[in-house]
A and B are shown apart, each in its own frame.
Chain A
Amino acid sequence: MTLYIVKRLGWIVFNLLVLSLIAFALIKSVPGSFLELQILLGQAGTTATGLTVSEIDKIKGVETEMMKRWGETVPLWEQYITFIKGVVTLNMGPSFRWPTQTIEEIIARTFPVSFTIAILAITIAVFIGIPLGVIAALKQNTWIDYLVSALVMIVSAIPNYVMAVFVIFLFSFWIPILPTYGWGHPKNYILPVLAMSFGPIGSIAGYMRTSLLDALKQDYVRTAWAKGGNERYVIFGHAMRNSLIPLVTILGPMISHLILGTVFVEGMFGVPGMGQYFSQAANSRDYPLMMAQTVIFGLILMIMNLVVDIIYFFLDPRIRVSRR
C-alpha cells in the first residue's frame, strides 16, 4: 500500500512538472504584456493629454525588479527554473497585479476560503442528492422518478452564476433575510454555498440513482428479494451501502472542480477566494499568479484523486484484488 502511495506521489510530481511546462509555454505565448496593459488601461482615459507611444516605450525600456524575474531580459529557460525553484521553496515572489503581496500569501489566504465553500456545497449536495437519487431509483420509470429526476436535472442544469442571481433575489430581496454582499460573518457563507450546491446535487442524485439501480440488479439481491421474509431488508441495506461506494470516485474530482468553478460566484457575493484572482490575473497578464494558480490547482486535483483512490481502496474489497 505504501508503495502504491509513493508511486502515485512520484507520478504527481511528474505530472506537475509537465503541467507547469505546458502552462509556462502557453502563458508566454499570450499576446500583451503586463506593463503595457497597466499603462494603457490607466492611460486610456488620458490619451489626449498624456503619454505618446514613445514615452511608453521608454518606460518599457527601464527595468524593474519584476521584469527581471519575468521579463524579456532573462532567457526563457532561466525564467522557468526560477519559477520552479520558487514553487519548491514556497517563495514565489510578488504578484504583478498586487505588488505588495507575495503569491504564497495570496494563495494561503484565498485557498481556504474557496475550499470551505466547495466542501460545504458538496456536503449539502450529498445530504440532499443521495436521498433524491434513492427515491428515483426505487421508483424507476414511474411518475415519481420522472418528477424527481426532471426537477433535479432542471435545477442542476442552471449554471451556478445564474443560480447566484436567483438566490440573491430570493433570499436578499424578496425575503430580505440575508446580505447580498460581504464577508466575515457566517451568514455570508449561506448564499454562495447554496448557489454552488445545486450543480453537485444533480450529479450526485443522478449517479446515486444509477449506482443503486445497478446494485439492486445483482444476483444476491434478487435472490433475497424473491425469497421474501426479513432477510430482504438486510440484503437491501447491503445493496444500499454498496451503491454508495462508487459515489466516492466522483466526489474527489467534483470538489476540485467546485473549487475552480467558484469564479463567477465569488465576484457576485464578494467572496475573497482563488477563483476571482485567476480571471483577474488572466485578464491583466499577471504571469506569476497565473502560473502559480495553475500549478496549485493541478496539485489539488491530483491529491484529491489520490485521496479518493485510497479511500475507495479501503471501502471496496474487490478493488484490492485488481488494481486499475
Chain B
Amino acid sequence: MSLRRVLIVFLSLIFLSSSFLGVAYAEKVFRWHGSWGNTWDLSFHQGFIWVHMMGLSEGLMKWDKDMKVVNGMAESYTISKDGTVYTFKIRKDARWSNGDKLTARDFEFGIKYILDPKNGKGSFFGGAWYIKNAKAYAQAEISDPNQVGVKAIDDYTLQITLDGPHPDFLTTCTLPTLYPIHKASVEKLGKKAFEAGNLVTNGPYRLVSHTPNVEYVLEKNPYYYNADKVDIDKIVGKLGGDAFLMYRRNEVDLINVGPAQLPVIEKDPVLKKELVVFPQSTVNIIYILAFDHPAFDDIRVMTALQKAIDKERICKYVYRGLAKPAYSWVTDLIPGSTANDPEVIEKFKYDPESARKLLAEAGYPGGKGFPTIHFLINPNQATDPLILAVKSEWEKNLGIKVVIDNLEVGVWSVRIWQLHDEPTMSFSGASILYPDPAAPLTLNYVEGALGGSLKRKDVVEYVKLDLQKTEALKSGDTAKAAEITKKQRDILYRRSTPEARKMLNLVLQAQKTADPNKRLELYRQANKIRDLNMYGYGWTKPLVLIQPMAARLVRSNFEVPFNKYLVGFPVSFAYIKTKE
C-alpha cells in the first residue's frame, strides 16, 4: 500500500468516526410553548414564575418524578418536638450556576427578599405564611426583617421557626415562595440581578438568554449536584405565535391543547398518539361579589342556581369530554377532598325540577321577581364558552335574566371590588398547588369562611370598612387600620353559623393532630361542611362548576412527567428525557 492510500483510508476513517461521534454528541434540545410573566425576579411569584421552579431554581425540598417530596438543597433536616422549629442542613456540594457555593445565608436572604413588601407583590405565599412573623412583615405591620423566623445559624445550617405545627410545611418548601436568591448578585446589581445574562440560580438549568415576547433559552447548569443525571442539554421556551401551528411544523415539542383542537388531533394518527390527557387540580368556579340583595341570603336560592346547571352536558359538548363536573373546589387529587362525596353530589347535582321548586319556595316562582344577574368578565375570559353555557342554562331552566358585562381588564379589576346594586358575579379558576389537605383550608380561609352566612347588609358594612381601611393605610395610619380589621372580624363572627364554627374548630384541631390519618379525617369533615354549605372566603361564595382536564401534545421521543398541581407544567425540567 502506498503512503497515499494509507493516508486516504486513515482520513476517511477519522471522518466517518467523527460523524458518528457527532451524532452521539448531538445536543439534546427540548422546545416548548409557554407563557411567561413579567420578570425573573422571584419576589413577583405568581403564575409563570413557576418556570423557576421547574428548571432554574431548587428549594430545600423538591418533587421527584412521582410527585413525592424529597430532599433538594437540604441534605437532612430535623424537626423540633412541638413541630415548630425546622433545622435544615444544606448540601455541601450545592452550587450556584456561576460556581459560587450555595449557603444557608442565601436561603435566609431569599426568603426575606420575597417577603419584603418593598419588592414585588406576589399573591400566593403558601408555606411562607407559616413562618413566624412572616405575614406581619409582608403586610408591613412590622418593619424589621430580623423578627421573621428564618435564620442562618452558619453557612450550612438554616433554622426556620413556624408560628405553629404545620405538617405540610415541608411540602411547601418545594414552592418558589421559599427559594434561595444569590445574595452577592442582588447586593451588587440590585434589580438588574434578575435579568438574563446576570441571573444566577441553583437549579438544574441556567438562564442563557431571554428575548422578551419571543423566547428564552435555558442550558444545563454544570454546577448542579446531579448534573450528570440531567438529560436535556438545552430548553427553549417560545412565547408567542400559534402553538398548534408551530407544533405541526415541528417547531416545538410540547404544547397545551384545548377542546378546539381535539377533532383535528383525533383524525391524525400521529397526533392522536402524542396526546396526553390528565386531571389537574384546577376547578372553574363562579364567585359572588358584594351586593345588597336579600335573595342571596337564602341558601335555597344558591342551591337552586347550582342545581340548574347541567354540568354533564357542558362537559360533553362544550369541552368535548376534556372536563368533568365538580361539586367541590378541592379536587380528588388532594387528600381529604370531598369531591366524590355522595351526599354533596346528591345535594347539588343537576335537577331542574327541584331547582325550580326551590326557587319558588324562596319566593321567586318561575324566576318572577328575581333580580337580573350580572357577570363581570375581563377579556381573558371573553372567549370562555363556560360563561355563555351557564347563562343559557340559568335562563332556560329558571327563567331568570342574566347579563354578561364584558369589561376591559383595568375596569374589571376596579369594578369587581365595588358595591353593586344588583347581584354580580365573576368567574375564576381555583387551583391548589400542592397535595395536602391543609392547602385549601388555611386558617385565613376558614376564618374568612365564617362570613359565609353574612346577610347582605353585613357585607355592605364589611366592604365599607374595607374602603375606609384603604384610606387609613394610604395615609399611613396603621393603628386605625388594625382597629378596622378588628371590627371586620367582629362582623364575620356576628353571623357565623354553628356549622361554620364547627369547621373552624375542626381545622384548629387538625393542625394540632400528629396522627396523619386522624388529621386527614378531620380535614375531610371540614371540607364536607364547607361543600355542603357553599362556604367561600368572606362573602365570596363559590359556585363550583367543572374540573377541566389538562391536555397536552408531547412529541413521542420525549418523556415528560407532568405536575397536576401546577396546572400541567412538567414536574421539573430536570426529569424530561429523550426516550431511547
A–B direct contact (CB < 8 Å): yes
**Which of B118, B408, B413, B429 is within 8 Å of A62, CB to CB?**
B118
Between A48, A64, A270, A284, the greatest number of chain B beta carbons within 10 A of the residue's beta carbon is seen for A48
Q: A47-B537, A50-B123, A51-B123 are in contact. Are A179 and B413 (CB under 8 A)?
A: no
Q: Indicate if B329 sits at the interface (CB-CB under 8 A).
A: yes
Choice from B213, B248, B431, B481 contacting A45 with Cβ under 8 Å = B431
Query: Is the interface on chain A under 10, 10 to 19, 20 to 34, or 35 or more residues?
Result: 35 or more
A91 at interface by CB-CB < 8 Å: no
A32 B245 Cβ-Cβ under 8 A = no
Which among A94-102, A194-202, A230-238, A311-319 touches the partner chain? A94-102
Residues of chain B contacted by A48 (CB below 8 angstroms): 285, 287, 329, 430, 440, 445, 536-537, 540, 542
Stretch at the interface among A53-61, A119-127, A211-219, A299-307: A53-61
* Contact mask for chain A residues 252-269; partner B; CB cutoff 8 A; 1 contact, 0 none: 000000000000001111
Q: Closest CB-CB distance, A81 to chain B, in whole Å?
A: 23
Cα separation A41 to B379 with both chains bound (whole Å): 12
Verify A100–B470 contact, CB threshold 8 A. no
Q: Residues of A contacting B120 with CB < 8 Å?
A: 99
Segment from B175-183, B187-195, B266-274 that makes contact with A: B187-195
Cβ of A49 < 8 Å from any Cβ of B?
yes
Q: In the complex, what residues of A have CB within 8 A of residue B44's CB?
A: 38, 99
B388 on the A face (CB < 8 A): no
Q: Does A283 contact B (CB under 8 A)?
A: yes
Q: Known contacts A37-B410, A60-B474; is A181 also within 8 Å of B251 by CB?
A: yes
The verdict on A35 contacting chain B, using a C-beta distance below 8 Å, is yes
Complex interface residues of chain A between 140 and 197 (CB less than 8 A to chain B): 168, 172-173, 176, 179-184
> Once the chains are docked, how many angstroms separate the CA of A285 from the CA of B408?
11
Contact in complex: B121, A38 (CB < 8 Å): yes
Closest to B540 in A: A47
CB distance from B141 to the nearest CB of A (A): 8
Give B409-435 as 1s and 0s: 1 = Cβ < 8 Å from A's Cβ atoms: 111111011000000000011111000
User: What is the bound-complex CA distance between A270 and B249, given in angstroms?
Assistant: 15
Question: Does B392 interact with chain A (Cβ within 8 Å)?
Answer: no
Q: Are B192 and A272 in contact (CB under 8 A)?
A: no
Check B40–A46 contact: CB distance below 8 A: no
- Are the C-beta atoms of A270 and B238 separated by less than 8 Å? yes
B365 at the interface (CB under 8 A from A): no
Task: Give B526-556 as 1s and 0s: 1 = Cβ < 8 Å from A's Cβ atoms.
Answer: 0000000000111010100000000000000
Given contacts A32-B410, A32-B414, A270-B214, contact A52 B448 (CB under 8 A): yes
Within 8 Å of chain A (Cβ to Cβ): is B246?
A: yes
Q: A53 vs B119: C-alpha distance in the bound complex, in angstroms? A: 20
Q: Is the pair B414, A46 in contact by a Cβ cutoff of 8 Å?
A: no
Nearest-neighbor residue (CB-CB) of B536 within chain A: A48
Set of chain B residues within 8 Å of A229, measured between Cβ atoms: none
Chain A 70-104 near chain B by CB (<8 Å), digits 1 or 0: 00100000000000000000000010011111000
Once A42-B122, A272-B211 are accepted as A-B contacts, the answer to whether A47 and B473 lie under 8 Å apart by CB is: no
Nearest CB on A from B579, distance (A): 26
| CA gap between A269 and B463 in the complex, in Å | 45
Q: Is A25 an interface residue (CB 8 A)?
A: no
Chain A residue numbers with a CB within 8 Å of B372 are: none
Contact between chains at A55 and B139 (CB < 8 Å): yes
Beyond A47-B430, A270-B239, whether A172 also contacts B39 by CB under 8 A is: no
Q: How far does the alpha carbon of A168 sit from the alpha carbon of B248 in the complex, in Å?
A: 13
With A180-B241, A270-B213, A270-B239 given, is the CB distance from A58 to B123 under 8 Å? no
B212 touches A46 (CB 8 A): no
Asked if B140 and A37 sit within 8 Å, CB to CB, the answer is: no
Q: Which residues of B contact A45 (CB under 8 A)?
A: 47, 282, 428-431
Q: Tell me which residues across on chain A come within 8 A of B536, comparing CB atoms.
A: 48
When chains A and B are docked, how far (Å) is the Cα of A44 from the Cα of B409?
12
- B469 at the A interface (CB under 8 A): yes
Tell whether A100 pairs with B192 under 8 Å between CB atoms, given A62-B140, A272-B214: yes
In the complex, which residues 79-134 of chain B have their Cβ closer than 8 Å to any Cβ of chain A?
117-124
Interface residue? B439 (CB, 8 A)? yes
A99–B38 CB distance below 8 A: yes
Tell me if A179 and B249 are in contact (CB < 8 A). yes
B496 located at the interface, meaning its Cβ lies under 8 Å from any Cβ of chain A in the complex: no
Q: Indicate whether B27 reaches chain A with its CB closer than 8 angstroms.
A: no
Asked if residues A62 and B428 are in contact (CB atoms below 8 Å), the reply is no
- Minimal beta-carbon separation of A123 from chain B (angstroms): 24
| B442 is an interface residue with CB less than 8 A from chain A | yes
**Do A49 and B445 contact each other (CB < 8 Å), given the known contacts A98-B212, A285-B410?**
yes
Q: Which residues of B contact A50 (CB under 8 A)?
A: 123-124
With a CB–CB cut-off of 8 A, which chain A residues contact B140?
A: 58-59, 61-62
- Contact yes or no, A61 B414, CB < 8 A: no
Q: Are B240 and A270 in contact (CB under 8 A)?
A: yes
- Among the interface residues B215, B240, B470, which one has the most CB atoms of the partner chain A within 10 A? B240
- The answer to whether B214 touches A53 (Cβ under 8 A) is no
Is the CB of A31 closer than 8 A to any CB of chain B? yes
Distance, CA A52 to CA B124, complexed state (A): 12
B474 touches A61 (CB 8 A): yes
Interface membership of B41, Cβ < 8 A? yes
In the complex, A40 has a CB within 8 A of chain B: yes
Residue on A nearest B122 in the bound complex, by CB: A42
Q: How far is the CA of A229 from the CA of B303 in the complex (A)?
A: 94
Known contacts A49-B440, A51-B123, A62-B117; A182/B329 CB under 8 A: no
Roughly how many angstroms separate A106 CA and B428 CA in the complex, as a whole number? 33
A73 to chain B minimum Cβ distance, whole angstroms, is: 8
A203 close to chain B: CB less than 8 A = no
Residues of A within 8 A of B238 (CB): 181-182, 270
**Contact of B578 with A by CB under 8 A:** no
Contacting A at CB under 8 A, from B326-345, are 329
Cβ < 8 Å to A, chain B residues 238-260: 238-242, 245-246, 248-249, 251
When the two chains form their complex, are residues B249 and A47 in contact, meaning their CB atoms are under 8 A apart?
Answer: no
CB-CB under 8 A from A30, the residues of chain B are 410
Contact of A52 among B191, B246, B429, B537 (CB under 8 A): B537
Q: Closest CB of chain B to A243's CB: distance in Å?
A: 41
Contacts A43-B123, A46-B430, A52-B538 known; list 16 others, CB within 8 Å.
A36-B413, A40-B416, A44-B428, A48-B536, A48-B540, A50-B123, A52-B444, A53-B466, A58-B473, A59-B121, A60-B470, A168-B245, A180-B245, A183-B214, A268-B240, A271-B214
Q: Give 19 A-B contacts (CB < 8 Å), ordered by A residue.
A: A37-B409, A38-B44, A45-B430, A47-B537, A48-B542, A52-B537, A53-B466, A57-B469, A59-B140, A60-B473, A62-B140, A64-B119, A98-B39, A99-B44, A100-B40, A168-B245, A181-B251, A182-B238, A270-B214
Q: Which residues of B contact A (CB under 8 A)?
A: 38-41, 44, 46-47, 117-124, 139-140, 191-192, 194-195, 211-215, 238-242, 245-246, 248-249, 251, 282, 285, 287, 329, 379-380, 408-414, 416-417, 428-432, 439-440, 442, 444-445, 448, 463, 466, 469-470, 472-474, 476, 481, 485, 488, 536-538, 540, 542
